[in-house]
Structure 1
Amino acid sequence: MDPLGRAQVLLLCDLCQTAALQSHCEHCQINLCTACVEGHLSDSSKRHNVVLYKHRKSATYNYPKCPNHTQNHCELSCEQCDIPVCSTCISTCKHEGHNLSDVLQKISTKIKHMEKELKELETRIYPIYEEIASGINTKKENLETHYSKLTTAITKQGEDWHREINIIVNKQKSEIDEMKTKHLATLHEHEKEVKKIISEVKQSIVDLKKILDSNDVSLTSAYKFRNADFRCLPPDLKVTLPSFSPHQINTEQLKQMFGSLSALTITTEECSYTIKPLLNEPELITIISTGYVLLTSVTCLSDEEIWTRSKNKIMKLYNLKGKQLKSIKTKSGNIPRDIAVTRSGDLVYTDCDARTVNIVKINKQIQEVIRLQGWKPYFVCGTSSGDLLVTMVSDNKKQSKVVRYSGSTEKQTIQYDSEGKPLYLSGDLKYISENRNLDICVVDASAVVVVNQAGKLRFQYTGYPSTTKGLFNPFDITTDSQSQILTTDCDNNCIHILDQDGQFLRYIDNCDLQLPHGLCVDTRDNLFVAEYFSGKVKKIKYM
């Protein structure tokens, strides 16, 4: 009982607002009751560190001791000298005329930047370096096959020419070995450099976490930002592989006619990967009016032209000035369920009622490439390999799956997880997109389901906890050059941006979006959003 007779205040869980709090998540800064802890930890869109409420860390910071006047605390920071100072320091001539600011406010600002840097390291920079390292390993694996083929070709030519040219054969084999050794040594060195940077990135992550978790002002003050260095990615190796050009046998000119190896050349070129940070505030660039009443889909033909569809049988092509360039009527007269553009630039659409997937050639000829039985095709996307990925639902609407096609040939079916359970719910809302890392991303009812290229489940995203937004209601989905996943949230009039591992990055909710349905990204990472009722396509710059 309070000895002063004051009323006791019962602290409640921030989530359910009914039970007494027991725990505290230090990363989310949220109080939890015992029943709500498990649900909070199930949100994989962010990191968590749940401790007993009484063991939580203080969110306040103490003024640091002055290194020059140990009896004083530093309450101010000298902007010119970039160091904390106490009242005695200020009274000296050393800081005369310098701008002073509150040291804790400066530390707080720096901590925010450090947290932002840590997030970029974990979600953007480190995964790209890992992908670069993986690419080098693939090159090393392919290297053996290529040089083995060269050796086989020369060996065969040497066998045809018999023993009198063995000396030439052995000499050129030696040249291959030398080039192979040089090539492999170069790749080893490149890999070593990349792994060194990866090690530094990992260490920076560890250091940042340690500082952020310690609340040690001295460590925070001493921290030097490094992400600018890490954003400068290492160059790619451009290798012109040697080849062997055999000649017809001429015993009088054996040495000249046997054939020659082209030289191994190794150069560097600008890295094909780029790190594009998200804008603090996405910008609305262009608004295109399509004339549709119920606009459902948009897909980029190029950076200057977009295909659109509505709930009628006509698909329209527009430029960014809003001029209609072309219109295509479906072959059957049915409403197309979805549209996409193939790698070669052809328009592809699904006809759910006719059970077909069709390609519109440049001359407007419509070619049926897939016809189904027992299943209806709903949504489609082109892939980097030239295949088509099609989501489909069984006639009884009890089963859903994703099928990969090469032309008219079925190559892969994705339907069940490793335990034999369905990956996708029944129902027909299954927009689909292939990510740059070859993951397959599908909108499935109120979730985004992502599997890898082999069809193994990677993660599900069911929305980001928010006190200002309602339930997550995704519709269309697309990906960008950074392997980020973007999905419309119709009911909340916004776009969710996730990294390739399903971690929530931010909303796009500032461009006066009204019932956003379809979306796509062009080669410059500009986002196009189709609004359902207004019939407008909005071009948004977000990176």
Structure 2
Amino acid sequence: MDPRTSAQDMMQCDLCETAVIQMHCDTCFVNLCKACVGEHFSADLSKPHKIVHFKNKNKSTLIHPRCTSHEEETCKIFCTHCDVPICTICLASDQHLGHKLARILEIRDKKRDKLIKEQTELKEKIYPNYQVIATDVQNRMSQLEKEYGDLSTAITKHGEDWHREIDKHVKKLKAEVDEMKNTQLQTLQNYLDGINKTMSDIKDEINSVDSVLESTDISSLFSVPSTLDRYTNLPRKITVTIPKFIPKKLQADQLFSLETISLKSDEHDDSMKTTQKSPEAVSSPPVKQLLDEPETVTTIHTGYTEAGSSPPVKHLLDKPETVTTIKIDIHFTLLPFLYYVACLSDEEIWTSGNDRTMKLYSINQGSLLKPITTKSGNDPTDIAVTKSGDLVYTDYHDRIVNIVKNEKIEEVIRLQNWRPKGICSTSSGDLLVIMESDDIKQTKVVCYSSSTEKQTIQFDDKGKPLYSFGRFNTYCITENRNLDICVSDSGANAIVVVNQTGKLRFRYTGHTPAPKNEPFNLRGITTDSQSHILTADYYNECVHIIDQDGQFLRYIHCALSRPWGLCTDTNDNLYVAQYGNRQVKKIKYLQ
């Protein structure tokens, strides 16, 4: 019998072999005296040595798993091929012949390291992110309470301007607001409850892993499944919108209306719709996903192409020769270019360029249906179609906004000291016009009801200009479904988006890598039923798609040639006016 193991008082240190054992390294399974503990640590700094009192050795000694085939044997080898621990008897048999084997402690260390890494990610990354999202939802709920309070106040104030016979209608609308608020709050609360439940599950997972890591039973390590993938996909961020209060001087039951409300996540614009009770509100469109590969539906060859058609290909002579000399007078003719496109319907589009004419085309047949020459003979600066189906255009040089009714041109707005550029028609039938001052030092957006100015948007909350200014800048404007006002500002190379009150929401300045590695150079702008914002990138010959919060989604290529103007029809088909080849492409990009 080994005298060092005959009794505890006779056991000697494994290092010095003279002193009595007092300590034990649970990592290396080495017995030590107190004097040798430091030497043992310094001998191998790569391991996290766990030193315990020798009397606690049995509590920390690793318990090897029992062999499933030979119950009396413990397993110190691991077959990586069969993914099971095996004993020496199994090893001696032919069952694992040729298999890759490893010490079970090595496998245990790898499994332990993996669990520690996953636990660290749960603790330091995933759980804090859930906390941030939960806090954000709580803040949004508080903001929702305030905004709904403001909404109720606005309804009450407007109701006081009317006679007592509409009090009943005011109360009815307030009840609808309360119901909408409660619905949204309940939806958010349910969402928050789900997040809190997941956070609780993560805590349980962390505690469970802690227990396993502290256990001396190796088998418990192999019984712990990996749950990291279950929590790495964070909850979607919720965007809350509230209805807009719209006063109307109509019959008592038509005095007010509330817009559609929704709770939207920030991934693919998925929506959790709530009930809309207002009789005048437009129903929410179905959710459409972006196609993996947008496709060209048709190409319309406009009349601009004839003047700019390509000449036949000719090759250089080896030796150029003079045939004759003729004295001639040279006259330069500017080729017509295509700039803008506007949808009259799903079958017809208006186009405009630099030839003083706006042209109506059949989409399916690709034929010219009607040309309209500008009243002044100037080139139209921008075109749009009103809610009633009339064509409007801006005349920069004459400072006029005109409308075409029954092929007759009528003046709608005449400006003083300002010149109109971009124009669009809103969902309420108003006109949004972006204009610059005569001295080219100011740019602003003005909303008109007929010829009456309703709103001016020019500066941010700090009094700084929202839009750039410059003589050669192009500006296009559109209204999003959520009533944001979106402007493509070529001078700033940015999409500038403000809400309906004129407060800046965000600026989009492009995405990298760009398709052709050219600088972002935007032109036309449009939106669709999903509140996507689309803008033409002239140099990179593509269209950017971003969501209503300014997040880039993807590019549309479709072999575009210097894209300029954009518009969408009621089926969310995209029309691109191409400056390069003077064609309009119809593109399908939504499912």
Determine whether 1:190 maps to 2:175.
no
Determine whether 1:377 maps to 2:433.
no
With the length of structure 1 as denominator, give the TM-score of the two structures.
0.59
What is residue 554 of structure 2 aligned with on the other side?
506
> What is the alpha-carbon distance in structure 2 between the residues aligned to residue 528 and residue 316 of structure 1?
15
Query: CA 1:316 to 1:154, structure 2 compared with 1: closer, same or farther past 3 Å?
Result: closer
Deviations 1:380-404 (A, max 9, x none): 1111121111111222222222111
Deviations 1:434-491 (A, max 9, x none): 1122222112222222222222222222211216521100011111122211110010
- Of the three residues 257, 273, 280, the one matched with 2:292 is 280
What is residue 141 of structure 1 aligned with on the other side?
152
| SS in structure 2 at match of 1:280 | strand
What is the Cα deviation at residue 419 of structure 1?
2.5
What is residue 360 of structure 1 aligned with on the other side?
404
Corresponding letter in the other structure for 1:369? V
With the length of structure 2 as denominator, give the TM-score of the two structures.
0.55
> What is the alpha-carbon distance in structure 1 between the residues aligned to residue 494 and residue 436 of structure 2?
17
> What is the alpha-carbon distance in structure 2 between the residues aligned to residue 539 and residue 357 of structure 1?
28
Q: Once structures 1 and 2 are overlaid, which stretch shifts more, 270-279 or 326-335?
A: 270-279
What is the Cα deviation at residue 217 of structure 1?
8.7
What is residue 275 of structure 2 aligned with on the other side?
236
Query: CA 1:518 to 1:271, structure 2 compared with 1: closer, same or farther past 3 Å?
Result: closer
| SS in structure 1 at match of 2:227 | helix
Query: CA 1:73 to 1:198, structure 2 compared with 1: closer, same or farther past 3 Å?
Result: farther
Corresponding letter in the other structure for 1:439? D
> What is the alpha-carbon distance in structure 1 between the residues aligned to residue 230 and residue 194 of structure 2?
18
> What is the alpha-carbon distance in structure 1 between the residues aligned to residue 380 and residue 198 of structure 2?
48
Contact 2:148 2:177 in 1 (8 A): no
Percent identity of equivalent pairs: 47
Contact 2:155 2:170 in 1 (8 A): no
What value does the CA root-mean-square deviation take over the aligned residues?
Answer: 4.8
Contact 2:573 2:586 in 1 (8 A): yes
Q: Which structure exhibits the higher relative contact order, with contacts defined as CA atoms closer than 8 Å and separated by 6 or more residues? A: 1
- Report the number of matched residues: 382
Query: CA 1:515 to 1:208, structure 2 compared with 1: closer, same or farther past 3 Å?
Result: farther
> What is the alpha-carbon distance in structure 2 between the residues aligned to residue 146 and residue 71 of structure 1?
81
Corresponding letter in the other structure for 1:437? N
What is residue 351 of structure 1 aligned with on the other side?
395
Contact 1:330 1:336 in 2 (8 A): yes
What is the Cα deviation at residue 297 of structure 1?
0.3
Corresponding letter in the other structure for 2:183? H
> What is the alpha-carbon distance in structure 2 between the residues aligned to residue 405 and residue 140 of structure 1?
24
- Of the three residues 284, 287, 290, the one matched with 2:302 is 290
What is the Cα deviation at residue 342 of structure 1?
0.9
Query: CA 1:71 to 1:182, structure 2 compared with 1: closer, same or farther past 3 Å?
Result: farther
Q: Once structures 1 and 2 are overlaid, which stretch shifts more, 487-496 or 202-211?
A: 202-211
Query: CA 1:502 to 1:221, structure 2 compared with 1: closer, same or farther past 3 Å?
Result: closer
Contiguous gaps of at least 5 residues in structure 2: 1-67, 69-74, 86-94, 96-125, 206-223, 237-266, 306-336
> What is the alpha-carbon distance in structure 1 between the residues aligned to residue 182 and residue 271 of structure 2?
18
What are the residue-to-residue correspondences of 1:454-473 with 2, within 5 Å? Answer: 454-466=501-513, 469-473=517-521
Contiguous gaps of at least 5 residues in structure 1: 1-67, 76-84, 92-114, 157-172, 242-268
What is the Cα deviation at residue 525 of structure 1?
1.4
Query: CA 1:137 to 1:417, structure 2 compared with 1: closer, same or farther past 3 Å?
Result: closer
What is the Cα deviation at residue 141 of structure 1?
3.1
Corresponding letter in the other structure for 2:457? I
What are the residue-to-residue correspondences of 1:79-228 with 2, within 5 Å? Answer: 86=83, 137=148, 141=152, 145=156, 153=164, 187=180, 190-199=183-192, 218-222=226-230
Query: CA 1:534 to 1:74, structure 2 compared with 1: closer, same or farther past 3 Å?
Result: farther
| SS in structure 1 at match of 2:462 | coil
Contact 1:235 1:270 in 2 (8 A): no
Q: Which is greater in Rg?
A: 2
What is residue 525 of structure 2 aligned with on the other side?
477
What are the residue-to-residue correspondences of 1:522-541 with 2, within 5 Å? Answer: 522-541=569-588
Contact 1:305 1:319 in 2 (8 A): yes
What is residue 117 of structure 2 aligned with on the other side?
none
Corresponding letter in the other structure for 1:435? N
What is residue 360 of structure 2 aligned with on the other side?
317
Corresponding letter in the other structure for 2:481? R
Corresponding letter in the other structure for 2:227? L
Corresponding letter in the other structure for 2:437? S
